[in-house]
Structure 1
Amino acid sequence: MAVHENPAVSLSQGIRMMFYVMALNETAFRNEEEVPDYVQQATPLFIGMLVLEFLLSWVKNGRAAIRVNDGITSLSAGVLSRLPGVLAKSVELSTYIYVWNNYRLLELPWDSPWTWWLTFLGVDFGYYWVHRLSHEVNIMWAAHQVHHSSEDYNLTTALRQSLTQQYASWLFYLPMALLVPPSVFAVHIQFNLLYQFWIHTELVSNLGPVELVMNTPSHHRVHHGENSYCIDKNYAGTLIIWDRIFGTFAPEREKVIYGLTHPINTFEVLWVQFQHYVHIWNTLWDTPGITNKLSVIFKGPGWGPGKPRLGLPEELPEITGKEVPHNPSIPVALQAYVMLQFLLMLGIYHEMFATKAILSQITLLLRIGYITLTLTCLGFLIDQRQGLPDAAIWESIRCLTFLAFHRFGYVKMVFASLTIPTEMLFLLCTVYWGSLSRQAVAKAKHH
């Protein structure tokens, strides 16, 4: 979102911004450059709330709410979706500023309560239609399906975001740019996103009268379900009133089964991001006629020649309630390794955002490349890509890349005291995975 360097929000502000209860005097800025990057500053709160959910679910249910494979994939998608923001403002904000600068009809006061509340409603209304069409237009669904690909429902699922969705969503907010200052928009587009984090949990049940107006965990659980009564329901961001008005509301009833109606059965983060684009491309070539080809792109994901725009509901797989999530067996030691490497990567990611204003473009690009490589390799490991030895080749390359980048200063750890221990760790990892790689190559030559 907005990318200006400024002081961090206080703990009180941080907690309140997660629930959209910041006051006007705390969030009024004359220029968009002054708007904090609230989403990036929320990273510690994301982690804290994830830990809290983990502990509470363990106490309540006697088990963790988060599987390592699914949770790491969701967190990886969240990191990946934020990487373009290192290099430039989001498409949503950049296009908004352009329209404001060149075509605005009226300039509402940036410090007015009326402007604040109008923008709150406008952003949420725009989000409803972005979200709804992301389910009803196949090319937009290709981006949004990332968020629905998890077969679990917990706070990590909230972070399973699309790398490409912003390249279509910007269109729906442009009418506001004719009168609402970019600084006000930049605040609310972030708060609307942050509010949706806490509703991704099974720990919060029905909230009584709040359910009538606000989007809640109960409402959003329905949205993530593949049960027949859940399909294409509850598109709300902050206010559930839009679904009630436009006829897309459904209350939570029987147990919700989460995920895509046609599961992708993988934890490889790049495939999670792009697999539906590949599906559209293949379907496009297999479908005869220009009109039909355009329909593949712009009608619903379930459309086919001779079918209605959104497909036939009776063709959806039947949900029995006995569905088992994709969950390949992973040794405990490998799970611990993946978690450790993800945390080390997260330190590099955080340090990059904190220092991006003083880093060269080549350094930023190399760090983005290393982070992407890390997320990809960890996905290979937890997905047991063609057996562990094949994934070992990529992991040995990644560890060697880290050693080279770290030695030449292209990646840095958050704490300087960890420099030598980290290099020793990666050296050992390079040797270990390299030995497995040689075994894989030798085995391939033997066969």
Structure 2
Amino acid sequence: MAAGAPATALPASQRLRALFYALQPSESSFRSLREVPSYVDQVVPLFIVFILLELVVSSIQRHKPSYRINDAISSLSAGILSQLPEAVCRGFELTGYVYIWENYRLCELPWDSSWTWYLTLLGVDFTYYWFHRLAHEVNILWATHQTHHSSEDYNLSTALRQSAVQKYISWVFYLPIALIIPPSVCAVHLQFNLLYQFWIHTEVIDNLGPLEWILNTPSHHRVHHGRNPYCIDKNYGGTLIIWDRIFGTFEAEKEKVIYGLTHPINTFEPFKVQLHHLTYIWSVFWATPGFSNKLSVIFKGPGWGPGKPRLGLPEEIPVITGKEVPFNPKLPVHLCVYAVIHFALIVTLYIDLFAAAATLSQVTVLLRIGYIILTLTSIGLLMDKRPEAARWETVRCTVFLALQKLGYIKTYPSLMFAYEVRHLFRSMEHAV
């Protein structure tokens, strides 16, 4: 989160408690922005641990896994894409905040005060509520946020299905806080607010009793991710649910929730997952007559059309029967294994990229980012069973061999890679 943050590893207990917003002000207050740890980077191993734990627990509870390989890889791919720009330009979203603080602050609250810490918790969460609500009610903002809702599953991997562009817009909403809150304190709470929302993306946890009145919980957030008519535009809170109760957007979990977009996109290809609604807005914008109507296409709700109210007509939301079947093309087992292996390898390259980014040349960083994007795209096309998947995979393998030969990539086990490529070429053309 903070550019120049120290690389010193946090104690394991702090990393675990950061996931649940359970750190004390005394251990998470910092004088300068440069001292703020990147909590998000340091809890990545815990994401993996909790995903595996959820997989085991849900399998015991339901007698079947709660994860589909294709959907989970699609979610994790979106998470990787959302973080890749950080390898080039870290902390961009706080630049405007720092400028406001340094030039226009109204007062200077003490960075080491518990009162400042708790006030920032409320301020960040209140601001998040309104950004999140507008991200559902303003079409152009929805285009950046819909990625997170595009999964038809609901598990901890869904929490990592993030937009690659949303944070480059959302930072504007936090600028008013910069009038009174030091940047170092805000940077901590922006991370805690994000991390808290990881563990609530699960069906393993049912009801948390009295905590349901104050905190955003898995039950509340399941409603938010639903496409049932009663779920639409409800429960926007990040850490606290009190804002929804105050502003009339709260809805308790009732009938079985069906997850995903009201109009599923039926793809795992990462660029379509990220950008499909932007392309939809573009086509509707040019097809809609009248300048004011064109502006409405951008700034009114996703369901708006000429003659409709700002947020569209509730009766136009598709009926949910409870028998909806998620998009799930069936791949042969060996191609599923192939996809998992190469996705795991690209994750190691992604982790290595951030671990070594400071020592790598800009060319190396950009080439590795390009290769990661190429790989995620190829795997997405494969999981879609698209006819062009074999051609993309051929290009990807060729690019990998060239980059490895030139010394830009050194992290793949070459023997395993070569074996898997040979195995793929034998079978892909018949399977896709």
User: Shorter-chain TM-score category?
Assistant: over 0.9
Letter in 2 for 1:320: T
1:391 aligns with 2:389: yes
TM-score (norm 2): 0.97
Query: 1:427: how far off?
Result: 3.0
Counterpart in 1 of 2:71? 70
Q: Tell whether the 8 Å contact from 1:396 to 1:429 is kept in structure 2 after alignment.
A: no
Query: C-alpha distance in 2, partners of 1:56/1:373?
Result: 34
Counterpart in 2 of 1:327? 328
Q: Counterpart of 2:26 in 1: which secondary structure?
A: helix
Query: 1:431: how far off?
Result: 4.4
Query: C-alpha distance in 2, partners of 1:407/1:94?
Result: 39
Letter in 2 for 1:312: L
Letter in 2 for 1:403: L
Residue pairs, 1:42-441, within 5 angstroms? 42-386=43-387, 390-413=388-411, 422-433=413-424
Give the root-mean-square deviation of aligned CA atoms. Answer: 1.4
Q: Counterpart of 1:174 in 2: which secondary structure?
A: helix
Query: C-alpha distance in 1, partners of 2:120/2:396?
Result: 45
Letter in 1 for 2:311: L
Query: C-alpha distance in 2, partners of 1:296/1:124?
Result: 29
Q: Counterpart of 1:83 in 2: which secondary structure?
A: helix
Query: C-alpha distance in 2, partners of 1:409/1:249?
Result: 54
Letter in 2 for 1:27: S
Q: Tell whether the 8 Å contact from 1:403 to 1:423 is kept in structure 2 after alignment.
A: no
Counterpart in 2 of 1:2? 2
Query: 1:50: how far off?
Result: 0.2
Query: C-alpha distance in 1, partners of 2:114/2:404?
Result: 49
Query: 1:64: how far off?
Result: 0.7
Change (3 A) 1:326 1:122: same
Query: C-alpha distance in 1, partners of 2:133/2:273?
Result: 21
Letter in 2 for 1:351: D
Query: 1:117: how far off?
Result: 0.6
Query: C-alpha distance in 2, partners of 1:269/1:223?
Result: 23
Query: C-alpha distance in 1, partners of 2:31/2:361?
Result: 29
Query: 1:409: how far off?
Result: 2.6
Name the stretch that deviates more: 95-104 or 208-217.
95-104
Query: 1:432: how far off?
Result: 4.9
Query: C-alpha distance in 2, partners of 1:22/1:361?
Result: 36
Gaps of 5+ in 2: none
Q: Counterpart of 2:273 in 1: which secondary structure?
A: helix
CA offsets 1:107-156 (integer angstroms, 9 cap, x no match):
11111111101111111001001100000000000010000000000000
Query: C-alpha distance in 2, partners of 1:436/1:208?
Result: 52
Q: Counterpart of 2:389 in 1: which secondary structure?
A: helix
TM-score (norm 1): 0.93
Query: C-alpha distance in 2, partners of 1:223/1:436?
Result: 41
Query: C-alpha distance in 1, partners of 2:151/2:360?
Result: 35
Letter in 1 for 2:139: N
